[in-house]
Structure 1
Amino acid sequence: MNTTPDQRLARTFVTLADTLVADFDVLDFLAVLAERSVEHLAVDAAGVILSDQRGGWRPAAGSSERADLVELFAAQTRQGPCFDCLAVGEAVTSADLSAPSQLRRWPRFAPAALDAGFRAASAVPMRLRDQTIGALTLLNHDPVELNADTIAVGQALADVATIGILHHRAAGRGELLAEQLEATLQHRIVVEQAKGVLAEYGGLEMHDAFTLLREYAHERQRRLSDVARDLAEGTLRADEITAGRIG
C-alpha cells in the first residue's frame, strides 16, 4: 500500500523515538537519522557529528560511506555550517558555497565541499534544552536555500534523535552521557576498520561494504559495532559476510 510523505515522516519519528530496546545500536540509529533526513528533506547527503567530550567533534554517521563524503564530514568538525551551528546553538545555512563571501567565511570547508560536488550546506544542532551533543549536516549538489519549513523538520528530526539517545542512556544502567558518546565514536573507528577489510576482500566501494555490514548485523539481530569488531579482529571472516551477496 502506498504511503504519503507525511505518513513516512511520522513513521521516521516513531523509529527515532523507539530506543528502549535491549540491543539498541547507536551507530545504526544515527545512520538511520542521516538516511531518513535525505529522504524527507530533499537533500542529497546528510551526516552526524558528535561531541568527543574533550572539546572537539568527530563524525559518527552519514547517509553514504563514500570516501570523499566521509572526509568532508570530518572537515566539518573544524570549519563550516556544522561547526558554526554548534557554536551558536541554532541552524546555520549556506545557499551557495561558491560565493566569494562563503569562500572567505570557510576557506577550507567551502572548497572541500565544492570539490566533493556540493554547492549548498546547512546544519542543525542535536540538542535538548542547553545540552548539545552533536549536529546534523545537510548537503545539496545545487545552490539552493532550504526554506524555513525544511529547516524546522530537520531540527525536529535532530531533536527527537537527541531525546532518544538521552532517554536510552537514562533508562540504562546509569551510564554517563560522556561515556556513551565516547564509546559510540570508538565503535565508529572499528566500523571504519571493518569497512576497509571488507572492501579490500570483495573489491567493494566503502559505501557498499558498510551496507553489507549493516545487512549482516540486521539479519543476525546483532549490533553493527559488534559485527565490525569481530571482522576487524579476525573472529569473523569476510567471506561469511559476503557469501551470497556479491558476485
Structure 2
Amino acid sequence: MNTPAIQLSIAEVTHLLTTDFDSLRVLETIVERSRQNLSGVWCVLVVRNGEQGYLDVLVESANAEFVPDRTLAISGPAALSAESGAVVMVDSFKDVGERWRKFGRSGLEHGLGGCRCFPMRLGRTSLGSLVVFTHDSWHSAERSNAYGQSMADLAALTLSTDSRQDRHSQVVTAVKKLIAVRGDVEQAVGMIAELDGISIELATARLAENARRRGISAGAYSSLVLANPDAR
C-alpha cells in the first residue's frame, strides 16, 4: 500500500522538519494524517514521562462522532509498545485472549474494533507510541504497517529536535563531526591502499567490509586503522 495520499503525508511531514518548525504542529500533523491514511477512528501519540509504567497523551485526533476514552491509549497494548519499543498488534478486540480481555471489552464498548501501536524509537530508547484505533478489525481494510511505523519514526525525530534554539548549533556540531569522520575514512582508505598495494576503490570496499565484519561503523574502524595500521 503506497498511495498518493500516503506519499504526500510523508512528504508533508519531512518538509516541515526542514523548516523552523513548531514541534507540536508537526506532531499534530503526524497524528492527523496517520488517522486519515490508516482509516482510523482515533489516533493518539502517547509519551513516556520518566515514571516507570506511566504514559501521557501528548496529541490525539478523532473522528467527529467519536468520544475517546484516554484510558485505552495509556494501557494494555499501547503501554506495552511504549515501554518495550515493539510494535503491538490487536487485530480484533473481539478476540484478544485473556491477557487483554478487559481492554478489549472496553474498546468494543466504545465502538472500536482493533488497533496498532507503533513505537517511537530513538536508537535503543523508546519515547512512546503512536496508537491507531479502528472501528472495524485491523485487517478488514488495507492498512500499511510500514507507513504507521514511518510516521512513528518521524514523531520520534520531531521529539528529539524539540528546541528551536538548539537546532542550529546541533546541526553545526553534527556537520563538523561528519566532516572529521569523513577525513578519517579518507586517510584510512589511503593507508590501506598504500600498505596493501591496491587501488583506492578496492581499499574503500575493503574498509567497508572489515568494518561490517567487526560490527562497527566505517568511522570507528578508520580510527582503529589510523591508530594502528596493523589492526586493519
Q: Shorter-chain-normalised TM-score: which range?
A: 0.5 to 0.7
CA RMSD, Structure 1 to Structure 2 (Å): 3.1
Tell me the equivalent position of 1:49. Answer: 46
Q: Does 1:133 align with 2:127?
A: yes
Q: 1:75 aligns with which of 59, 72, 75?
A: 72
User: Which amino acid counterpart does residue 58 of structure 2 have in structure 1?
Assistant: A
1:49–1:57 contact (8 Å) kept in structure 2: yes
The structure with more radius of gyration: 2
Maintained 8 Å contact 1:16/1:161: no
Residues 26 and 158 in structure 2, CA contact (< 8 A), matched pair in contact too: no
3-state secondary structure, aligned to 1:90: coil
Return the letter of the residue paired with 2:160.
L
Residue 115 of structure 1 aligns with an amino acid whose one-letter code is E
SS of the counterpart of 2:162? helix
2:37 is paired with a residue of what secondary structure? helix
Q: In structure 1, the residue corresponding to 2:155 is in which secondary structure?
A: helix
Bigger relative CO (Cα 8 Å, ≥ 6 apart) = 1
Q: Shift in Å at residue 169 of structure 1?
A: 3.4
Q: Structure 1, residues 52-104: CA drift from partner, whole Å, max 9, x if none? A: 11221011111128797442x3333232x2112123311111111112xx152
Q: Which runs of 5+ in 1 are unaligned?
A: 174-247
| In the alignment, structure 1 residue 157 sits paired with structure 2 residue 155 | no
Residue 109 of structure 1: how far off its partner (Å): 1.7
* Larger deviation, residues 162-171 vs 117-126: 162-171
Distance 1:52 1:67, change over 3 A: farther
Q: How does 1:28-47 map to 2 (within 5 A)?
A: 28-47=25-44
- The equivalent position to 2:136 in structure 1, one of 123, 139, 142, is 142
Q: CA contact under 8 A between 1:45 and 1:63: conserved in structure 2?
A: yes
Distance 1:166 1:146 in 2: 35
In the alignment, what sits opposite 1:188?
Answer: none
Deviations 1:87-127 (A, max 9, x none): 3311111111112xx15221332111111111111101111
Structure 2 CA distance for partners of 1:127 and 1:171, relative to 1, 3 Å: farther
Aligned residues: 165
Task: List runs of 5+ in structure 2 lacking aligned partners.
Answer: 168-232
The answer to whether the 8 A contact 1:19-1:164 is kept is no
Instruction: Tell which deviates more after alignment, 163-172 or 41-50.
Output: 163-172
- CA shift in 2, pair 1:20/1:86, >3 Å: same
In structure 2, what is the Cα distance between the partners aligned to 1:85 and 1:165? 17
Distance 1:66 1:4, change over 3 A: closer
Partners of 2:61 and 2:93 lie apart in 1 by 21
Give the conservation status (yes or no) of the 8 Å contact 1:95–1:146: no
